[in-house]
Amino acid sequence: MSKAVLELQNLHKSFGALQATRDLSFCVNAGEIHALIGPNGAGKTTLIQQIYGALKPDTGTVLLNGRDITGLSVADRVQAGIGRSFQISNVLMDFTVLENAIIAEQARLRQSFRFLHPAFDDPDLQTGAHKILNRVGLDDRAAARASDLAHGERRMLELALALATRPDLLLLDEPMAGAGQQESQRMSQIINDLRGTVAILLIEHDMDAVFRLADRITVLVEGAVIANGTADQISHDAAVRAAYLGSE
Amino acid sequence: MTSTIILEQTFNGLQAGVTLFLVAAGLTLILGIMDFVFLAHGAQVMIGAYFAAAITAASGNFYLGILLAIPLTFASGYVLEFLVIRHLYRRDHMEQVLATFGLILFFNELIRIGFGPAALYSDLPPSLSGFVEILPDTPYPAYRLGVIGVGLACALAIHLFVSRTRIGAMVRAGANNPEMTAALGVNIRILFRLIFAAGACFAGVAGMLLGPLTAVQPGMGEPLLILSLVVIIIGGIGSVRGAFIAAIIVGLADTLGRVFLPGLLRLVFDQATADGAGPALASMLVYILMAVVLIFRPTGLFPAKG
Amino acid sequence: MGGLSSVIKLACDGMRDNRLLWALIAGFALFPIYTHFADLPFWNDVAMRIMLLGMAAMGLNLVLGYGGMVSFGHAAFVGIGAYCVAISQVYGISNGWLHLAFAIVACGVAGLVIGYLALRTSGIYFIMITLAFAQMLFFLFVSLEAYGGDDGMSIDRAEFGIIDLYAPLRLYFLIWACLAIVAMVLMFIVRSRFGVTLRAVKSNASRVEAMGLSPLRFKITGYVISAVICGIAGGLFASWQEYVSPDIMHWTRSGELMIIIILGGLGTLAGPLLGAIAFLLLEEFLPVLLGSLAPAYAENWMILFGPLLIMVVLFGRGGLSGMIGRWYAARNAAGKGADRR
């Protein structure tokens, strides 16, 4: 039996009269790729924010590896094992690709509060940083400034940085947004290769990618879960077809 | 500590409060809608005061001075926005701080060249130099009462304008979400220019009203600027209502604090400590108030941005 | 001692990477030789003032240039440092080392409190709050009649054991030594893991958060360090001027520090020192310039300074150190081209 890395229990979030998240519960198991789909406005991003810690739910619990993290800050949750790639590339634009990775690596090693040795010249940090970049094939662009990267390359860096903390749970918020055909395939390949090493909660609108990659899918409509199961089960679920796939 | 003194000082506090509001109202909109750190707002106070003082001296009529100074101050704000300010919106805050700091230096020096460094003292207009009995046996300077009246009238006018007119709605939208407002096709450039000029105008009116009470001199606006920043922090950036309430609170706290705090301290502590700590605490009171508000409400009491 | 020799090696590498900064500092060390032979002892005084302003500006630059925090209240820390010296003397403490210790502790605590309260906000709020706190401290010292109040008070130069600060050039080299130490410390900090993370917070705080770090903790730490540096500058300033008054901490002084930083180049190590030189030279020569153009208005030279500042903001790219960098790069490129021919 798979262990649940992420467990959401009865999450509820309202913004005034708008109920963005309604009595929401589901799990993400270790090593699986779990897709979260739903029409625009279904509350997917709001949910990710609550898992990530940028938003606090009104009621409900978020459990990571069995531990209640509902009250923890974003930084503490990342330390507890959550990684996130953002919908809009959120890298350190003023630094080079390698420097981005070095800063992530030293953060993982909890070394960031040191004042003596130059960080970017440290051979151990550099080795770790190159490893991070190699995971997504960005090592040849190590010397480029992040602001000079092409869109697809920046998405890769985004993913690399999310993986740099060696999370147990990876939140991928539309990783293929704005990516061309080639970039999407490359991203798909990388995500596929991650299966088994880290639990992934994937928000994506590209339905081909979703059905190819996902082990399980949760469908969100107007803040509530209307279906939850394997890709096969979901594609045959009548309620889902009506609410979402049908209208496409 | 008679009730007369308490009443008198309360009214003084109200007068200080509405004057602060006139300065803070424009500034909170400039900070909130344009995200522009306009340090030279105090210079607008000074410009308005000098326009009024000059015209009053030339014509001999206080009311004429104010009447003509208002459109002149509005125009000066309009021109300033067009020539300098609008090039700075896209800059980061530090650059805005430095550029407007440069404006302060420039205007202070300009006034010094034009009018000399010494303070100008103007007399109260004869029609307002008497006293009014706000309560039996409680005379209060008519002029100060007039200032309170003008201040409240301006507050009411701003409130009605912002809440009842279309332009006012655009202003409120701009305070709440500038990007969206621009995206909706509102002519942001003209809106900004008008807000800026209106803010300059109200700040100038504060200066004009204060002229006969204090002195008209270079740099007279800076203390008001700092205090109105405190008002805006307490009231919330972008909120005119917040600015009004906070301005009254700050005006009252500052005035009453300076008068009564030393005395109150003497009740609790010995003479020496009270006399030493009293004035210090009184002058810091407003800032301590601000710090307390910040601990519980970092974005002020009535933030405009939801 | 492997540890010490590796630190020395790091220092030398750093100095080589920051040639402009260390050339300037070396220049200040040699300057008194020039003034001695040119018989211009007054200029030693100007140089001391430049070094002190440069030191304070370097402190502010840590949070402003590298940390992205527009703090308008740093003159308050300079003032606290100065008043630590003055108040100690009122109570009979004339030992300069103790003064230094007081200044460091007082500014550290003040930096921590103000930093914690202010850094939970950002943007315009942060600027205004730091400004307001600085004014609060200004008014506090104005109202403390026991320590001079509005008029300030005269003080003696501190006693640093065997070093007699009244002997010629002793104070000069004390200030110089502190400047060099501050520059060295900042050089290390900026390249360290902490410094790099602080710069990352300026670049993108939410990304730093996503790496599992608390941006606030880094900002506050940087703020406290910068406050302490300004405090040290303030303490030395008190000895130099032999007088303290609340004017040291008026908010316009904070503005001056910012002007110095932007003149010299934001977020560079040499910038604040270059800017201090430029600022004081402008202060000396603008009145002369205006006096020759329009003698009646020589006193009003500020009217030139204001627009100059606006011009620098609108058109100056990277300040003086940016210009020097570009000139240097262009010269190198031209040189290489000539060699290839």
Reported as a single tens digit per residue, the pLDDT across A230-245 is: 888 887 888 777 776 5
Residue C341 reports pLDDT greater than 50: no
Look-up: residue for tokens 């040119």?
Answer: C38
Residues of chain A with CATH 3.40.50.300: 1-81+167-248
Residue B16 reports pLDDT greater than 60: yes
Instruction: Out of C125, C259, C310, name the one closest to residue B237 (CB).
Output: C125
Mean pLDDT of A20-40: 89
In a domain, B253, yes or no: yes
Mean pLDDT of A143-160: 90
The answer to whether residues B144 and B213 touch, using CB atoms and an 8 Å cutoff, is yes
Residues of C with CB under 8 A from a CB of B: 64, 70, 72, 117-118, 120-121, 123-125, 127-129, 131-133, 135-136, 139-140, 142-146, 251, 255, 258-259, 262, 266, 297, 300, 302-303, 305-310, 312-314
Q: Smallest Cα–Cα separation from C226: which of C43, C14, C98, C73?
A: C73
Mean pLDDT of A176-183: 81
To the nearest whole Å, the CA of A239 is away from the closest chain C CA by 36
- What are the tokens at C222? 């940087």
User: Scanning every residue of chain C, which has its alpha carbon at the shortest distance from the alpha carbon of B94?
Assistant: C70
Q: Smallest Cα–Cα separation from B199: which of B26, B22, B18?
A: B26
User: Scanning every residue of chain B, which has its alpha carbon at the shortest distance from the alpha carbon of C303?
Assistant: B106
pLDDT digits (tens, 9 = 90+) for C172-226: 999 999 999 999 999 999 999 999 999 999 999 999 999 999 999 999 999 999 9
To the nearest whole Å, the CA of C325 is away from the closest chain B CA by 21
| B21-30, C74-83, C138-147: least confidently modelled range | C138-147
Average pLDDT, chain A: 88
CB contact under 8 A, B229 and C306: no
**Chain A contact probe: residue of C6, C7, C190, C196 with most A CBs at under 10 A:** C196
Q: What integer pLDDT is reported at residue A246 of this predicted model?
A: 53
Q: Determine the distance from the C-alpha atom of residue A125 to the mean position of all C-alpha atoms in its chain, rounded to a whole number.
A: 24
Using only C-alpha atoms, chain A has a radius of gyration, in whole angstroms, of 18
d(CA A172, CA A52): 11
pLDDT digits (tens, 9 = 90+) for C312-323: 888 877 778 778
d(CA B245, CA B35): 22
Instruction: For chain A, give percent helix, strand, coil, nearest 5.
Output: 40, 25, 35
Domain total for chain B? 1
In a domain, B198, yes or no: yes
Measured on CA atoms in the order B121, B225, B74, B67, is the torsion positive or negative?
Answer: negative
Mean pLDDT of C12-17: 87
| Beta bridge pairs of residue C153 | C244
Q: Smallest Cα–Cα separation from C76: which of C45, C48, C44, C118?
A: C118
Describe the crossing of helices B62-83 and B41-59 by its angle, rounded to 10 degrees. 140
Instruction: Out of C72, C145, C303, name the one closest to residue B113 (CB).
Output: C303
Residue C338 reports pLDDT greater than 70: no
The answer to whether residues A77 and A64 touch, using CB atoms and an 8 Å cutoff, is yes
Q: Determine the distance from the C-alpha atom of residue C261 to the mean position of all C-alpha atoms in its chain, rounded to a whole number.
A: 8
Domain regions of chain C by residue span: 8-249
| Beta bridge pairs of residue C95 | C159
- What are the tokens at A205? 């609108």
> Residue A72: which residues within 8 A CB-CB, separation 6 or more?
A53, A80
Residue C32 reports pLDDT greater than 50: yes
Please report which confidence band the pLDDT of residue C327 belongs to, taking 50, 70 and 90 as the band edges. confident
Residue C86 reports pLDDT greater than 90: yes
From first CA to last CA, the distance across chain B in angstroms is 44
Residues of C in contact with A90 (CB under 8 A): 204, 206-207, 210
CB contact under 8 A, C142 and B283: yes
Write down which chains contact chain C via at least 3 CB pairs under 8 A: A, B
CB contact under 8 A, A112 and C204: no
> CA angle C30-C33-C35, nearest 5°?
110
CB contact under 8 A, C193 and A99: no
Please report which confidence band the pLDDT of residue C335 belongs to, taking 50, 70 and 90 as the band edges. low
Mean pLDDT of B216-231: 91
CB contact C17 to A (< 8 Å) = no
Please report which confidence band the pLDDT of residue A248 belongs to, taking 50, 70 and 90 as the band edges. very low
Instruction: Out of B35, B98, B291, name the one closest to residue C258 (CB).
Output: B98
Interchain CB contacts (distance < 8 Å): B and C: 124
Continuous H helices in chain C: 2-17, 19-38, 42-61, 74-90, 96-119, 123-143, 170-191, 193-203, 205-210, 215-241, 251-264, 271-293, 302-315, 319-340
Mean pLDDT of C153-179: 84
d(CA C38, CA C35): 5
pLDDT digits (tens, 9 = 90+) for B100-126: 999 999 999 999 988 888 888 877 888
d(CA C304, CA C289): 10
Between C75 and B121, the more confident residue is C75
Look-up: residue for tokens 């290390």?
Answer: C188
d(CA A78, CA A116): 26
Mean pLDDT of A152-179: 90
The answer to whether residues A180 and A152 touch, using CB atoms and an 8 Å cutoff, is yes
The answer to whether residues A148 and A93 touch, using CB atoms and an 8 Å cutoff, is no
- What are the tokens at A176? 């293929």
Instruction: Out of C120, C128, C262, name the one closest to residue B298 (CB).
Output: C120
The C residues from 121 to 160 touching A (CB cutoff 8 Å) are none
| Beta bridge pairs of residue A188 | none
In a domain, B41, yes or no: yes
Please report which confidence band the pLDDT of residue C39 belongs to, taking 50, 70 and 90 as the band edges. confident
Q: What integer pLDDT is reported at residue B135 of this predicted model?
A: 75
Q: What integer pLDDT is reported at residue B305 of this predicted model?
A: 60
Please report which confidence band the pLDDT of residue C340 belongs to, taking 50, 70 and 90 as the band edges. very low
Residue A127 reports pLDDT greater than 90: yes
- Top-confidence range, A53-62, B258-267, B273-282: A53-62
d(CA A102, CA A15): 39
> Residue B59: which residues within 8 A CB-CB, separation 6 or more?
B65
| Beta bridge pairs of residue A169 | A82, A199
Q: Smallest Cα–Cα separation from C319: which of C7, C20, C2, C85?
A: C20
d(CA C122, CA C69): 8
d(CA C226, CA C61): 8
Q: What integer pLDDT is reported at residue B32 of this predicted model?
A: 85
Q: Strand runs (DSSP E) across chain B, as ranges?
A: 131-135, 138-141
| A85-89, B269-273, C238-242: least confidently modelled range | B269-273
Average pLDDT, chain B: 87
CB contact under 8 A, C70 and B97: yes
Strand-by-strand arrangement of the A18-29 sheet: A18-29, A4-15, A59-64, A67-68
In a domain, B306, yes or no: no
Report the amino acid identity of residue A78: V
Between B189 and B50, the more confident residue is B50
Residue B1 reports pLDDT greater than 60: no
In a domain, B251, yes or no: yes
- Top-confidence range, A96-100, B222-226, B284-288: A96-100
Q: What integer pLDDT is reported at residue B4 of this predicted model?
A: 82
CB contact C203 to A (< 8 Å) = yes
| Beta bridge pairs of residue B131 | B141
Q: What integer pLDDT is reported at residue C339 of this predicted model?
A: 46
Please report which confidence band the pLDDT of residue A2 belongs to, taking 50, 70 and 90 as the band edges. low
Mean pLDDT of C152-168: 79
Q: What integer pLDDT is reported at residue A28 of this predicted model?
A: 92
CB contact C207 to A (< 8 Å) = yes
To the nearest whole Å, the CA of C67 is away from the closest chain B CA by 13
Instruction: Out of C195, C202, C212, name the one closest to residue A107 (CB).
Output: C212
> Residue B121: which residues within 8 A CB-CB, separation 6 or more?
B215, B216
Instruction: Out of C10, C210, C221, name the one closest to residue A78 (CB).
Output: C210
Q: What integer pLDDT is reported at residue C143 of this predicted model?
A: 83
In a domain, B131, yes or no: no
Neighbours of C168 (CB within 10 A): 10
> CA angle A164-A165-A168, nearest 5°?
115
Q: What integer pLDDT is reported at residue C167 of this predicted model?
A: 76
Residue C107 reports pLDDT greater than 70: yes
The rounded percent of chain A whose pLDDT value lies above 90 is 50
| Phi, psi (degrees; rounded to nearest 5) at C116 | -65, -45
Mean pLDDT of C152-161: 82
CATH code for the domain in which residue B290 is found: 1.10.3470
The answer to whether residues C254 and C138 touch, using CB atoms and an 8 Å cutoff, is no
Q: Smallest Cα–Cα separation from B299: which of B218, B237, B219?
A: B237
Q: What integer pLDDT is reported at residue A152 of this predicted model?
A: 85
Q: What integer pLDDT is reported at residue A1 of this predicted model?
A: 45
User: Scanning every residue of chain C, which has its alpha carbon at the shortest distance from the alpha carbon of A161?
Assistant: C211
Its domain, for residue B231, covers 8-119+136-296
To the nearest whole Å, the CA of C341 is away from the closest chain B CA by 43
Residue B243 reports pLDDT greater than 80: yes
CATH number of A1-81+167-248: 3.40.50.300
Q: What integer pLDDT is reported at residue A137 of this predicted model?
A: 87
Instruction: Out of A76, A114, A165, name the one closest to residue C211 (CB).
Output: A165
